Structure 1
Amino acid sequence: MTIDGPGAGRRVVMLVDNGVEGDSRVQKTALSAAGAGWDVVLLGCSPSGEVEHRRLGHADVRLLPMGGPAAGTGGLRARLLARGGPLLRAARWARRPVEYAQVWFWRAVEGDRAWRRLEPGLWNYERAFGAVIDELAPDLIHAHDFRMLGVGARAVARARADGRTVKLVWDAHEFLPGARPRRDNARWLPAHLAYEREYVPYADAVVTVSPALAELLQREHHLAELPAVVLNAPAVTTPPPDSSAAPDLRRLCGLDDATPLLVYSGSATAQRGLDTVVAALPRLAGVHLALVVGDAGTPYLRELLTTAARLGVADRVHPVPYVPHWQVPALLASADAGLIPLHHWPNHEIALITKFFEYSHARLPIVVSDVRTMAATVRATGQGEVFRARDADDLVRAVRAVLADPGRYRAVYEGPDSPLPSWTWESQAQLLDALYHRLLAGRPTKETTPR
């Protein structure tokens, strides 16, 4: 289906290193671009190992099987750790000197090309995506996050060698030097840093998620211009046409309207600080906690629930499954406060994360740890309270303050000075649309080629 509009007939291929489901930024980007008239094909990774086709609004979504030697190793590693964890961990530490030597040697020999030796599994993304991108012959490639940067850059280089001009937008979701390695070895971070450095020069434009991250990226990669900031704000006026109403959070937790309810929405990992919240619950009499998480069966969440049982508060902790991204603010709205208890980590300090804006559009007071950017925003707006990260006593103080006078914090969202109108995906999507047009200015539109 082709839509008449400013971008009609111009193909945008978006790349992401996940299965699309659950990645609200990627979904919103594809939905809004396709809605604006761009011919959008979103390529992601198939969880089933087979090619999958689906529609996302007017966008065409294709999930591609990864294959390769690195595919499927995560589950095996988890099973091995479960069976022989202590022994494997001792072996892992014994390998560290060898891994550091590998990093030093290949960086000395290959420079930024060293990732080919240190993390060869990155080639699996090229094998899965490369030929499909070439066949689609895009006018513009929108590469989400660092793994897709190289895939997009190589596709651009091949197109130019064939006499076609393709523009590349790199959407940097995080500051890689400050990221927690996703594999427990000494090679992962230096390999991916080298990979990112090699391919950044191919990007015609860089966009990212916060002003602080934009400044870091410009300094780290010596970018000629400051990356455009496209906030991870929720879509509030344009849900998909087949969307349904959000469930009621209190009903899911089995609670009445009078019961104090805190909510955390997002990934459940140790650095997100949920252990601090559980530790605070015994001192918050009658207060319940809803955990809107993707998988209630993860080891970390099971450990949290075990701790809650030991502290005598298990009946006040309620895991709740994810809902589609357009339903999240409505789901959260019946809570009394939204929690962001992050630990101090470089990427946490510079982020305005998705849940911050989702809580805001749910009109919730926000209780956030003293990570720099979000704490400063909350203090400036008055929409919540800040507590010391990992300090359960200070979290208790902040929660009590919010529950004692919720109207004071909710008032920030009303009236002419409300920050909410600019904290919408609709306003952010206009920035992306303008960027696409700037990059493709002077390029004639064309008939959409069959897919």
Structure 2
Amino acid sequence: MIFKRFMKKPEIVEKIPENNNSYLSCVMIVLNEVKHDSRVKKCAKALQKANCDVKIFGLSQDKEQQGVKWVEIQGIPTLLFPNPKFTILSSAVRIYTWKYVTQGLLAAMWKYISIEQPDFIHTHDFHSLIIGKELSLRLKKEGQDVKWVHDFHEYVKGLDGLDDEIKELSLTEEKESILHADYLTTVSPTLSTALRNDYDLKKEPTVLYNAPNRSNLNLDYDLTIRKKLNLPTDIELGVYIGGISEFRGLHTLIGAMPLVPHLHIALVTETKGKYMDSLIESAKELGCYDRLHILPYVDSTEITSFIRDATFGIHPMTRYGNAEVALPNKLFDYIHAKIPVIVSNCTTMEQFVNKWKIGLVFEAENVNELGNTIKKLLKERAKFTENINDEILDIFSWETSEELLKSIYLDMIRKLEGEVNNIGNSFIEGWVNKTDFKSYERVAVFHKKEMISQLKLQNIIEKDSNKKKTDFSILLPEKYHDSVKREYEVRLLPRGNILENGKITAMFEEKFPIDGKFEGVVNNKITGWIKLKNYDYPTGVAIYYNSKYVCSGAADIILEEKPGCLGFSINLPELYRDGKARKYWVKTNPWDIEINGSPQILKFD
């Protein structure tokens, strides 16, 4: 291999600000640009909803990018790492490039993982398997209680188009890594069974169907595919969505178009290249190019609304190893758009379509049979559409997969127990049956199903030497100190179980026990003071930029001019010392009580 030589500036590796309201933290790893990977984004959003602080580590395709780039993709903090392959000018053997990329990314990602110290590492697809194994083992060796989840998107043994040496290496990595994972998930039951059989797993990987949210379908969506193409409703329109390659079998579909003379076909894809050019050329030669439409990518959250007025959806995949176990997301997109489907006779797709009677199956790469199948479906479309009912849409929806994913995470962490044993004038007090808390374990108070206060158990400073349990005191926000009786629930997070005596009815006196002031900036630091009246609990402060947690620090400066008050002077992370004006809040730590003087618009050099 020949490598480019370039000068790199020293890289400052700094922890990305986390959401301080999150219970768990997760770094998700996928070796693509993330933005078009609907499964990765859906997994990340699902965990965010479960109060998990999620960051994605992805792979940039920008040849000019040299440093790590921090972006936000649909509300998910994402680090895009420069692609090591772009530093190679030439390579005689592709496997060397493959090894160079994975080892380069492993080294680059370790710098950030070691700082983030996540509770979970969640890797996607076979490219990142070895990275997930190595990163999780390194963290465990350092004493970090990290769990590693891996999601199999493909059946590597069946990837017939993959370079032979890369395939062999990937299978070796798979064999060496799979038993190290704490939990495995995948995309179809057939693939799950194949993996269990191949590696003698004690348990089949859990299937998370790569389906859209039912709520994505918007019947008021204006620019549907038919409207975009300006096609009247009496024109039959078949649609294919997603990436295009010879293995996807689109040449069979183009070949069948002359057999159904009035049929229009739309390909919703970003794919370009020789194979795509050959499809266009074939359509011109067959005299049906005027009925072939190529449309750009539509976001996964809008695709079902976009294609809902098509006549049918199609996936003419050729038969090969991975195709036999695949249950592609486009299949679920079609049925959530409530249009029937036509698929080739790849085993898992055929079984799915026939079981639910939602369309028809044809012999892969058989042009004449596909033509006849399309004609039959057009005649019988109504009965297939009728079978796309609430049962199938509920079972194969992301809402269902999302709940399953949340339960997977929660089942991997311990369940705390505890009791509420006192309700004072200002505090709810109790105990928890552990003393060695994880960073994500908390006690929280809920009112009308809304969390109104929380305490990070790791932040409790012990006042006695009880080795079996830990006492806690949790303070409600000032607006609840109004002498009004309310019903509350005290829960342990993240499992959400209610403490013994945790369902309470209480009122809190109007005299709020905390006073304080966010003064502003002194010597480029956030400064102020707090006072806890008539109570002796150690306190500090946490800094927020909008709703994002920035950092925290102690309130431990004795102020002679303010008896009973403790001052704070907090230096912000380098990320925020860039001269830009931002709006900051200061809250107590623990309890997250906003201090007077918040918010303020400040800038730091």
How high is the TM-score relative to the length of structure 1? 0.83
Q: In the alignment, which residue of structure 1 is the partner of 2:210?
A: 232
- Among 146, 149, 152, which residue is 2:126 paired with? 146
Q: How does 1:76-87 map to 2 (within 5 A)?
A: none
Matches of 1:430 and 1:363, distance apart in 2: 23
- The offset of 1:2, in angstroms, is 3.1
For residues 55 and 3 of structure 1, what CA distance do their matches in structure 2 show?
18
Would the aligned equivalents of 1:65 and 1:128 in 2 still touch at CA under 8 Å? no
Deviation at 1:246, TM superposition (A): 6.8
Structure-2 separation of matches of 1:180 and 1:136: 38
Partner of 1:406: 381
Structure 1 equivalent of residue 200 of structure 2? 222
Corresponding residue number in structure 2 for 1:274: 250
Bigger Rg, structure 1 or 2: 2
Look up the match of 2:430. Answer: none
CA, structure 1 residues 396+118, in 2 after alignment: closer, same or farther (shift >3 Å)?
closer
1:421 equivalent to 2:435? Answer no
Q: Deviations over 1:249-277 (max 9, x none)?
A: 11332322221100011111001110011
The alpha carbon displacement at 1:363 in A equals: 0.8
Question: Greater RCO between the two (CA within 8 Å, min separation 6)?
Answer: 1
Write the distance in 1 (CA, Å) between the matches of 2:276 and 2:221.
27
Per-residue deviation at 1:59? 2.6
- Cα offset for 1:236? 2.6
Q: State the partner residue of 1:102.
A: none
Q: Does 1:64 align with 2:39?
A: no
What does residue range 62-211 of structure 1 map to in structure 2 within 5 Å? 62-67=79-84, 70-71=85-86, 119-183=99-163, 186-211=164-189
In structure 2, distance between residues paired with 1:187 and 1:369: 29
| Alignment coverage as a number of residue pairs | 402
- Mapped to 2, the partners of 1:309 and 1:282 lie a distance apart of 11
Q: Percent identity?
A: 28
Counterpart for residue 46 of structure 1: 60
Residue among 327, 337, 349 paired with 1:362: 337
Contact preservation (8 Å) 1:252, 1:320: no
**Where does residue 106 of structure 1 map in the other structure?**
none
Alpha-carbon distance in 1 for matches of 2:76, 2:262: 46
Query: 2:320 and 2:198 mapped to 1: Cα distance?
Result: 18
Tell me, in whole angstroms, the C-alpha distance in 2 between the residues paired with 1:429 and 1:53: 26
Aligned partner of 1:30: which letter? A
Q: Is the Cα contact below 8 Å between 2:263 and 2:291 reproduced in 1? A: yes
Following superposition, the deviation at residue 323 of structure 1 comes to 0.8
**What residue is the counterpart of 2:349 in the other structure?**
374
Q: Secondary structure of 1:408's match?
A: helix
Question: Contact 1:119 / 1:187 at 8 angstroms: preserved in 2?
Answer: no
Residue 438 of structure 1: aligned partner = 411
Partners of 1:305 and 1:314 within 8 A in 2: yes
**2:97 & 2:263 partners in 1: Cα distance?**
52
Does 1:22 pair with 2:36?
yes
Asked if structure 1 preserves the Cα contact closer than 8 Å seen for 2:280 and 2:289, the reply is yes
The alpha-carbon deviation at position 440 of structure 1 amounts to 2.0
Residues 313-365 of structure 1: per-residue CA shift (max 9 Å, x gap): 11010001111111111111111011110110111111111001000101111
1:293 aligns with 2:269: yes
- The amino acid of 2:69's aligned partner reads E
Which amino acid letter does the alignment assign opposite residue 377 of structure 1?
F
Amino acid aligned to 1:382: K
The whole-number CA distance in structure 1 between the counterparts of 2:126 and 2:317 is 23
Please give the secondary structure, in 2, of the residue aligned with 1:62. Answer: strand
Aligned partners of 1:321 and 1:334: how far apart in 2? 17
How far apart, CA to CA, are the structure 2 residues paired with 1:272 and 1:140? 34
Q: Distance in 2 between matches of 1:143 and 1:165?
A: 17
Over 3 Å counting, the alpha-carbon distance change for 1:292 and 1:238 in structure 2 is closer
How far 1:390 sits from its partner (Å)?
Answer: 0.4
- Three-state SS of the structure 2 residue aligned to 1:71 is helix
Separation of aligned partners in 2, 1:381 and 1:204:
34
Distance in 2, matches of 1:124 and 1:56, equals 24
CA contact (8 A) 2:264 2:292 kept: yes
Which runs of 5 or more residues in structure 1 are unaligned? 78-91, 100-114
Mark the CA change 1:293 to 1:315 in structure 2 (over 3 Å): closer, same or farther: same
Partner of 1:252: 228
Q: Secondary structure at the match of 2:317?
A: coil
Q: Give, in whole Å, the separation in 1 of the partners of 2:153 and 2:250.
A: 23
1:31 has 2:53 as partner: no
Letter in 2 for 1:303: S
Higher helix share: 1
The CA deviation string for residues 355-410 of structure 1, in whole angstroms up to 9 with x for no partner, is 01000101111011111111111112111011110001110111111111311110
Query: Structure 1 stretch 366-375 or stretch 219-228: which is displaced more?
Result: 219-228
**For the aligned residues, what is the CA RMSD?**
2.5
Deviation at 1:43, TM superposition (A): 0.8
8 A Cα contact 2:102 2:131, kept in partner:
no
Task: Identify if the C-alpha distance between structure 1 residues 398 and 437 changes in structure 2 by more than 3 Å, giving closer, same or farther.
Answer: same
Deviations 1:86-115 (A, max 9, x none): xxxxxx9xx9xxx9xxxxxxxxxxxxxxx8
- Contact kept in structure 2, 1:264 and 1:339, CA below 8 Å: yes
Contact 1:384 1:402 in 2 (8 A): yes
Provide the rounded CA distance (Å) in 1 between the counterparts of 2:359 and 2:266: 18
Distance 1:10 1:219 in 2: 33
Structure number with the higher strand fraction is: 2
